[in-house]
Structure 1
Amino acid sequence: MVKSADERLQLDDGSAIQQIATDQIKPNPYQPRKTFDDDKLDDLSRSIQQHGILQPIVLRTTITGYHIVVGERRFRAAKRAELTQVPAIVKSLSDEDMMELAIIENLQREDLNVIEEAESYRKLMDDLQLTQQQVAQRLSKSRPYIANMLRLLHLPSTVMRMIQQGELSGAHGRTLLALKSTAEITKLAKRAHREAWSVRYLEQYISDNKSPRENHKQQDTNTKPKFIKQQERQLKEQYGTNVAITTKKNKGQITFEFTSEAEFKRLVQQLNDKYKN
């Protein structure tokens, strides 16, 4: 089970609570949350004005001052309350620690939107050169869960914004990825939002409006042996993308689908890692 941010920071180094000037503190560059609810910040600010900051924020020393490791909401609310100092514990942490702790803190509060969550996983993978499996292990998630979240980053930017703003769900987004055209995805996403489609209705609409070629491919899939379908599912879960296995006489082909150069490089890296192991 993943430890809380506070548990991860309980290092026996005798750290004491200090009063640190707010103008010396900067946000965590690895903070996954891009948006903060103004109403909730105002509520927290009023509470801080009345009761003070009950739990110190955690900082890391930098050349120009301090970076927030845990407690950015408290810090932002404190500035709204016009505090010139905040109670803080200063820790010696690596960039890797900062990144993981920022993500863990936000995931535990469950207030990241799914796009921010997916971007957090991608940043961990890119900056720390981690595989999906390694990210899953570090954050106590399943690898298929990480893979499915990352797939949302293949959506057009317009649709990702719709999900961030709560106009569509992450499940809507994953369903729309069945379409190949960016224009199709965007058009149908706007219609699904405008007409308040459920995920199930969207799935049915896409299924009913497949091209003859796609329907033929679906029929081919339905006639595949059970063990082939099972292998396709396992590979899809393992590599986080659609996988097709075709066989003819004594020959066969395994096809991995990718929709961007970044995804192609990720697949190659995973395949190379698997070969090395």
Structure 2
Amino acid sequence: MAKGREINFNLPSADDLFSTQEERDEAKREMIMEISIEEICDFPNHPFKIRMDEEMANLVESVKQYGVLSPVIVRPKDDGSYEMIAGHRRRYASELAEKTEIPCIVRNLSDEESTILMVDSNLQREKILPSEKAFAYKMKLDAMKRQAGRPNKNYVPVAQDLRGKTSRQILGEQVGESQDQIRRFIRLTNLIPELLELVDNSVLKEKDKLQIALRPAVELSYLSEEEQSDLYETIESEDCTPSHAQAIKLRKLSEEGRLDENVIFSILTEEKGNQKEQFRMPRERIQKYFPPKATEKQIEDTIVKALELYRKRERSLER
């Protein structure tokens, strides 16, 4: 007996049957709406900070004169309000400019789509802090993994789309970072806020505030919260931050269970190579005494020998 074969027909919906092509095209087209600022809430755990700096001041003045030229992107919520996806700075500038409404593009997006769009739209900014990259990369990477594991009819799974590449690989390609650099930034999410502020200052360069570079910060992220708190107290009291080598030492002692306040203090108060007092002299003052191709080491050795001879001569004259 021959087996039957199922035939699938794509039947038109009621909307297709009782609407014109123009009406259907209009429904698909994104519309710009003026929405009350009070009806728009922040994106949950938004990782990008809004700073009242010169750039923000300029944006406020622009909004006062011309309004918001580029609409923000929001998605509707079940209660009738909206959630900001892209445009937190423009909304804040609008509030400072005493605007009550803001032009919006309303999109129906899933949680994963919203997270990816939110991160991507903010990564276009010129100055991005390490803490912002850390939480943004983590949020986007988690969203990409969820999308790959639970695809919808319009989404090609990450593994297939990337021809075997991991989510971290494609994220790195999208943001222009290596996989290792992505991993380093995400490790920063394990730092306590006080230490993370010092890492951010490696970019902000605020005066009278200490800095911690990325590499040592990654090592410190493996310390427990209590150990990090003890470290921060020592940083504050001694007005110094750990070098990369010291951070590696702190992590090793922490893993061995031998890190406490006293050990932290002894490591941070060690003299670092770059803290040793150095004497420098402009090369043009002494270059006439040396061959043109003389290296710094040769010049230094010659000066030391000359000073030793001078010292011997001075001592002989004193006798």
TM-score bin (small chain): 0.5 to 0.7
Give the whole-Å Cα distance in 1 for the aligned partners of 2:198 and 2:85.
29
* Equivalent position amino acid for 1:79 in 2: E
Question: Which string of whole-angstrom CA distances, capped at 9 and with x for unpartnered residues, describes residues 88-118 of structure 1?
Answer: 2222222111101111122221433212321
Q: Shift of the alpha carbon at 1:43?
A: 2.9
- 2:67 — aligned with what? 52
Give the whole-Å Cα distance in 1 for the aligned partners of 2:82 and 2:142.
24
2:50 to 36, 40, 48: 36
Tell me, yes or no, if the aligned pair for 2:33 and 2:105 is still in contact at 8 Å. yes
- 2:6 — aligned with what? none
TM-score, scaled relative to structure 2: 0.51
Q: Shift of the alpha carbon at 1:195?
A: 4.8
| Unpaired segments ≥5 residues, structure 2 | 1-26, 149-164, 203-209, 257-319
Q: Shift of the alpha carbon at 1:133?
A: 3.3
Shift in alpha-carbon separation, 1:96–1:46, aligned structure 2, 3 A = same
TM-score, scaled relative to structure 1: 0.57
Q: Shift of the alpha carbon at 1:37?
A: 0.8
Q: Shift of the alpha carbon at 1:126?
A: 4.4
Q: Shift of the alpha carbon at 1:173?
A: 0.7
1:148 to 175, 181, 184: 184
Pair 1:106 & 2:142 matched: no
Q: Shift of the alpha carbon at 1:154?
A: 3.1
- 2:41 — aligned with what? 26
* Equivalent position amino acid for 2:88 in 1: E
1:76-91 alignment, distance < 5 Å: 76-91=92-107
Q: Shift of the alpha carbon at 1:125?
A: 4.3
- Structure with greater strand percent: 1
Give the whole-Å Cα distance in 2 for the aligned partners of 1:96 and 1:208.
39
1:1-277 alignment, distance < 5 Å: 13-29=28-44, 31-33=46-48, 35-39=49-53, 40-63=55-78, 64-126=80-142, 129=145, 133-138=166-171, 140=174, 141-164=177-200, 167-168=210-211, 169-176=213-220, 195=239, 202-205=243-246
Give the whole-Å Cα distance in 1 for the aligned partners of 2:45 and 2:225.
29
Shift in alpha-carbon separation, 1:134–1:128, aligned structure 2, 3 A = closer
- 2:3 — aligned with what? none
* Equivalent position amino acid for 2:57 in 1: D
Q: Shift of the alpha carbon at 1:54?
A: 1.3
Shift in alpha-carbon separation, 1:154–1:44, aligned structure 2, 3 A = same
Tell me, yes or no, if the aligned pair for 1:59 and 1:67 is still in contact at 8 Å. yes
Shift in alpha-carbon separation, 1:87–1:147, aligned structure 2, 3 A = same
Residue 84 of structure 2 aligns to a residue whose secondary structure is strand
* Equivalent position amino acid for 1:147 in 2: R
Residue 38 of structure 1 aligns to a residue whose secondary structure is coil
* Equivalent position amino acid for 2:56 in 1: L
| Unpaired segments ≥5 residues, structure 1 | 1-11, 215-277
Of structures 1 and 2, the one with the larger relative CO (CA 8 A, separation 6+) is 1
Q: Shift of the alpha carbon at 1:119?
A: 1.8
Tell me, yes or no, if the aligned pair for 2:216 and 2:247 is still in contact at 8 Å. no
Q: Shift of the alpha carbon at 1:78?
A: 0.6
Q: Shift of the alpha carbon at 1:16?
A: 2.6
Give the whole-Å Cα distance in 2 for the aligned partners of 1:91 and 1:182.
40
Tell me, yes or no, if the aligned pair for 1:163 and 1:173 is still in contact at 8 Å. yes
Tell me, yes or no, if the aligned pair for 1:32 and 1:102 is still in contact at 8 Å. no
Q: Shift of the alpha carbon at 1:48?
A: 0.6
